[in-house]
Amino acid sequence: MKITVLNGSPKALTSVTMQYVRFLQKKYPQHELRILNVCHDIAQLEENEDAFHEVIRTIQASDAVLWATPVYVLLVPGPYKRFIELAFERSVQAAFRDKYAATLTTSVRFFDNTAHNYLKAISDDLGMRFVGAYSAEMFDLLKEQ
């Protein structure tokens, strides 16, 4: 399965969120994950429509989208919301339609349900097939078992 990971962390690949995504890559090597740093690269995506449409083409070519993001003060980071706004402003909803969608968030688990509800609603608005959400605690990967 081809999965596009829309990374909502301003820290790009060094974020805690992406450490969880890397764990998923190791755990499920049969799936192809394509990570796009849409939050970190939002200025470029706003200014350069070719760069934005490259992201959209990647989404079109995938079977599913993983909304992977930290939760900051009850919601996703502002640049992540801006990427979602751009998708509607530039009328590219069809690229998302009928794709499976899931949410992976990292936080201190304080009202993550607000961010999950928001991303589920966005998925619904985009005509996606939302399958669920997981809230990872920021420091879980540091614990030995």
Model confidence over 14-41: pLDDT tens digits?
888 999 999 999 999 999 999 999 999 9
pTM: 0.92
- Any idea where the domains of the chain sit in the sequence? 2-140
- What's the gap between Cα 56 and its chain centre? 13
In the predicted structure, residue 108 carries a pLDDT above the cut 80: no
Query: What does the alpha-carbon distance between residue 135 and residue 71 come to, in Å, rounded to a whole number?
Result: 9
Place of tokens 């201190």: 108
Using pLDDT thresholds of 50, 70 and 90, give the confidence band for residue 116. very high
Query: What does the alpha-carbon distance between residue 99 and residue 56 come to, in Å, rounded to a whole number?
Result: 13
Q: In the predicted model, what is the mean pLDDT of residues 66-76?
A: 91
Query: What does the alpha-carbon distance between residue 9 and residue 54 come to, in Å, rounded to a whole number?
Result: 19
Decide yes or no: CATH 3.40.50.360 for domain 2-140: yes
Sign of the torsion angle spanned by Cα atoms 66, 104, 28, 37: positive
More confident residue, 57 or 72: 57
Q: In the predicted model, what is the mean pLDDT of residues 86-106?
A: 97
In the predicted structure, residue 139 carries a pLDDT above the cut 70: no
Question: Burial code of 61-74, b = ≥16 C-beta within 10 A, e = fewer?
Answer: ebebbbbbbbbeee
Q: What is the pLDDT of residue 27?
A: 95
Using pLDDT thresholds of 50, 70 and 90, give the confidence band for residue 72. confident
Neighbouring residues of 94: CB distance < 8 A, sequence distance ≥ 6: none
Structure tokens at 22: 């890397």
